[in-house]
């Protein structure tokens, strides 16, 4: 059996120009399947508020919810890196942030994901000093849906605004973040960020020049209800079963086939 995936594994993959394939999961059955077919990382996303709980946004998700689903995923996996979202208002103060991060790590997460930009630097430093690895989610951050006025592509401003976006990515890296997720940003900007930082950059709706990709499992399997995101692809359309569909997703990410132009914002 191969060595379990770790943050160091993902860093080495970036350095060797090997694409990273990641996906969300929320329960033991799917997590175990994804682990078996060789996914590099699993995110227990606060997207569970929409795809599992039926809410219209991620905002109702609590830390208790995240702990419960993180425990379920962690019990079923042994080979993949496990990330867990810090949900809405879980980082309101340093004390609250550390307590909530500790709960997720004890539940089985190996890294926590927080949404925002350079203003998170103090939080990132505090977490890293206490042995909590951090992934930062930039671009379209769903917890800020009401600030953005909806789910809109980010980073389409002028050259100065785009440079500021790159500088924010570099700032969170300097603060100690070890992974970056870019959601719904123009492909060229995502490519520039990927080249500007040393840590792995995972994209979702950010083109195929990032170091890897992540999809919500429901999007990858064609069971999303309502609006289908532009960046989604139903891999079950090209595969006979779920295992084969996820293997196909991994292969197409590794080969740079997915995402294609039709899944990309310019």
Tens-binned pLDDT, residue by residue, of the chain (266 aa): 578 999 999 999 999 999 999 999 999 999 999 999 999 999 999 999 999 999 999 999 999 999 999 999 999 999 999 999 999 999 999 999 999 999 999 999 999 999 999 999 999 999 999 999 999 999 987 664 545 444 445 555 678 888 999 999 999 999 999 999 999 999 999 999 999 999 999 999 999 999 999 999 999 999 988 888 899 999 999 999 999 999 999 999 999 999 998 888 87
Q: Across the strands, what pairs with 43?
A: 24, 83
Torsion of the alpha carbons at 202, 203, 208 and 213, rounded to the nearest 10: 60
The verdict on whether 183 is a catalytic residue reads: yes
Helix boundaries (H) for the chain: 7-15, 28-37, 48-51, 63-76, 94-107, 121-129, 145-148, 159-175, 187-196, 217-220, 242-254
**Domains of the chain: residue spans and CATH:** 7-263 (3.20.20.60)
* pLDDT reported for residue 1: 58
Compute φ and ψ for 5, nearest 5 degrees.
-70, 145
pTM comes to 0.93
Catalytic option among 115, 173, 183, 191? 183
Instruction: Say how many residues make up the chain.
Output: 266
pLDDT at position 140 is: 81
Angle at 166 between CA 162 and CA 169, to 5 degrees: 140
> How confident is the model at residue 146, as a pLDDT?
41
């Amino acid at each position: 059996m191969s060595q379990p995936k770790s943050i160091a594994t993902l860093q080495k993959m970036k350095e060797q120009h090997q694409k990273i394939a990641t996906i969300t999961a929320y329960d033991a059955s799917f997590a175990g399947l994804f682990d078996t077919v060789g996914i590099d990382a699993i995110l227990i996303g606060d997207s569970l508020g929409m795809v599992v709980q039926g809410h219209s946004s991620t905002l109702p998700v609590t830390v208790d919810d995240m702990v419960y689903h993180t425990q379920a995923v962690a019990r079923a996996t042994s080979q993949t890196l496990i990330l867990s979202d810090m949900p809405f208002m879980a980082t309101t103060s340093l004390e609250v942030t550390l307590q909530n991060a500790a709960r997720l790590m004890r539940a089985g997460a190996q890294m926590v994901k927080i949404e925002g930009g350079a203003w998170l630097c103090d939080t990132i430093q505090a977490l890293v000093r206490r042995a909590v690895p951090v992934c930062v989610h930039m671009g379209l951050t769903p917890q800020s849906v009401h600030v953005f006025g909806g789910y809109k592509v980010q980073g389409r401003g002028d050259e100065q605004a785009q440079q500021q976006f790159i500088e924010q990515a570099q700032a969170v890296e300097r603060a100690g973040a070890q992974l970056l997720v870019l959601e719904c940003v123009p492909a060229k900007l995502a490519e520039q960020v990927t080249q500007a930082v040393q840590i792995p950059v995972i994209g979702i709706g950010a083109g195929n020049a990032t170091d890897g990709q992540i999809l919500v499992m429901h999007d990858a399997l064609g069971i999303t209800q309502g609006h289908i995101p532009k960046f989604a692809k139903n891999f079950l359309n090209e595969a006979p079963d779920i295992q084969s569909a996820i293997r196909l997703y991994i292969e197409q990410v590794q080969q740079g086939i997915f995402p294609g132009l039709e899944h990309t914002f310019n």
